Amino acid sequence: MTRHTPNRPGSAKQAPTKTANGPQNAATPARVPTHDLARHPAKDALAWAHTARFYITAAQLHQVPVSELPEVAFVGRSNAGKSTAINTLAQQRQLAYASKTPGRTQHINLFHLGPKAAPNQLWTDLPGYGYAAVERSAKLRWQEVMASYLEVRRNLSAVVQMVDSRHGLTELDRQLLEFVTPRVRSGEVKLLVLLTKADKLNRKEQAESLRKAQEVLADLVTEESDVNITLFSSLNKSGVGDVAEVLHGWAASPEVAEALAAAQAAPDVLPDAWDDQSQSEDDQA
């Protein structure tokens, strides 16, 4: 399984590589022997992903706690395989719940990763979108929530978008990306698109699915951006190790995680308030 970086418009095609965007490599301490890294990165990353544990659930945006941890938001159309992908990455059966009744009031669920005493990443499972039977007002409300979250969540470090590999990026998927496009283009927020259920496609169809997604995402690619696409299957586990590695590479360093945990423990050292604008928007809705 390889990850694919969309071509920069007008530039030579970049060879798909497992490490081109791997911040974990840039952050590698010099004392770690390179042969160990070459042998175990996926294993280490999967062990790390397995530490994922439920942190908090929020019914509304302003209930999402302020955090300084690098946060990875998981987004996708209902039924794209988001819950299954989160569970597969974490190697846990029921970390993320597939909603039994898609489209009913959904919550934002947050998970901590890394050492218990000093978590080094947050995963945020955002409500799935695009369920046809949802009434219009609920859809608009959802759009407001997603737009606010993706535009202003200050510690948002990356978006992982689940897209059914058979359908490709739909209009709704593109609309969602628009909320976060400026931050992706500036490199502030990284983007990883998982083409899910890849086991349902043959090799030729997989290549075509990748090619089409690359085409759509080419607009988001700049010198500063970090945009990747990969085929993914929770069923046959393809892409799982690679994705775990990428996520692991986005975790805070132990020093930063420990400093954040210490700051949180101290009652007089509070992080900045959650953006006022998002709170008032949310209250009005």
- Enumerate residues 6+ apart whose C-beta is below 8 A from 135: none
Closest to ligand GDP by CB, 161 or 225: 161
Closest to ligand GDP by CB, 159 or 251: 159
Closest to ligand GDP by CB, 81 or 114: 81
Query: Cβ of residue 154: shortest distance to ligand GDP, in angstroms?
Result: 26
- Would you call 101 helix, strand, or coil by DSSP? coil
DSSP 147-177: HHHHHH-TTEEEEEEEEETTT-S-HHHHHHH
**Paired residues of 230 in beta bridges:** 3, 194
Query: Would you give the binding string for ligand GDP spanning residues 218-237, x where CB under 6 A is met?
Result: ---------------xxx--
Query: Cβ of residue 117: shortest distance to ligand GDP, in angstroms?
Result: 31
Query: Cβ of residue 252: shortest distance to ligand GDP, in angstroms?
Result: 27
Residues 63-122 binding ligand GDP (CB under 6 A) are 76, 78-84, 98
Query: Cβ of residue 234: shortest distance to ligand GDP, in angstroms?
Result: 4
Report the alpha-carbon distance of residue 248 to residue 260 in Å, rounded.
18
- Enumerate residues 6+ apart whose C-beta is below 8 A from 272: 66, 154
Closest to ligand GDP by CB, 85 or 191: 85
Interface with ligand GDP includes 209 (CB under 6 A)? no
DSSP H helices, the chain, are: 23-26, 34-39, 41-49, 82-90, 136-152, 171-185, 203-217, 240-249, 254-265, 276-284
- Would you call 90 helix, strand, or coil by DSSP? helix
Among 24, 106, 196, 209, binds ligand GDP (CB under 6 A): 196
Closest to ligand GDP by CB, 67 or 233: 233
Interface with ligand GDP includes 130 (CB under 6 A)? no
Closest to ligand GDP by CB, 164 or 226: 164
**Paired residues of 196 in beta bridges:** 164
> Any idea what DSSP says for residue 106?
-
Residues that bind ligand GDP (CB under 6 A): 76, 78-84, 98, 128, 162, 196-197, 199-200, 233-235
